[in-house]
Amino acid sequence: MAKIKGRPFAVFDIDGTLIRWQLYHAVADSLVSLGFISHEKFQSIKDARMVWKRRETPDSFRNYELELVELYVDILANITTDQFDKAAQAVFDEYKDQAYAYTRNLIKDLKKQNYLIFAISGSQTEIVSKMASHYGFDGFVGREDERVGNKFSGKSTTPIFAKDKSLKQLVKSHRASYSGSIGAGDSHSDIKMLELVEEPIAFNPERSLFEHAKRSKWKIVIERKNMIYELEAGDGNTYILA
């Protein structure tokens, strides 16, 4: 009996790849605007964000992300789950359709081709699940924060440092095929995930992902304003407009 071949899949990062902003950044901002955490407590992340926005160092964006990941431990210890859910819903309502045209249309096209669509994000599952439902994803992985009653216990798991493991689990659980697989991401944390697929796409990549994509001759796509530039590896260490 011939072995049944699994469906091909495409995997996407969400923050900065599908949605035009970082959702876990937006949730933190929403918690401040709703009055659930103080402006003073949030000052350290605002300072780190300004270092990134001023482009003071090549690693300023990654440092900002790590600062925010650490800050969330303190944030969640001082709010209720109801407060967090309210902030997550507000962010979903605001950002759900603020998507990049390239990745949004790629998802639509691949679904028509019977691809399984996965998402792996460092944002919390409370908002990743909403985005996954909105865009019709077949499976997703996000940050999990343990709840005890109406509080957070302080225990959490995140795929951000091991997206390759999360992808392998999704592929196994959905009996998907790596043949024809596609992936898109924008940051350093997406590299291991993209190394597993046949067609990796560095989308609006930060520097470390760009350098890795260039060495590996991956496709690079830049979406700026109403223009999309697809770059493909040429001879040597060059890229050409596709």
Q: Within a domain: residue 111?
A: yes
Structural domain range at position 89: 8-241
- How many domains does the chain fold into? 1
Q: Is residue 98 part of a domain?
A: yes
Contacts of residue 209, Cβ cutoff 8 Å, sequence gap at least 6: 185, 186, 187, 188, 190, 191, 202
Residue 15 has pLDDT above 60, yes or no: yes
What is residue 197's DSSP assignment?
S
Residue 19 lies in a domain: yes
Q: Is residue 2 part of a domain?
A: no
pTM given for the model: 0.89
Q: Which residue has the tokens 């109801």?
A: 82
Integer-rounded Cα radius of gyration of the chain: 18
The residue-averaged pLDDT of 166-180 equals 97
Name the residue among 173, 174, 215, 172 with its Cα closest to residue 195.
215
Dihedral sign of CA atoms 105, 106, 107, 109 in order: positive
Q: What is the mean pLDDT of residues 58-85?
A: 80
**Is residue 65 a part of any domain in this protein?**
yes
Note whether residue 121 is domain-resident.
yes
**Residue 232 CA: distances (Å) to CA of 79, 147, 195, 237:** 47, 45, 17, 11
Cβ neighbour number for residue 17 with a 10 Å cutoff = 25
Domain membership of residue 80 (yes or no) is: yes
- CATH number at 80 reads 3.40.50.1000
Instruction: Give domain status of residue 3, yes or no.
Output: no
Q: Tell me whether residue 92 is exposed, middle or buried, using C-beta atoms within 10 angstroms of its C-beta: 0 to 12, 13 to 18, 19 or more.
A: buried
Query: Best-predicted range by mean pLDDT among 2-16, 41-55, 160-174, 222-236?
Result: 160-174
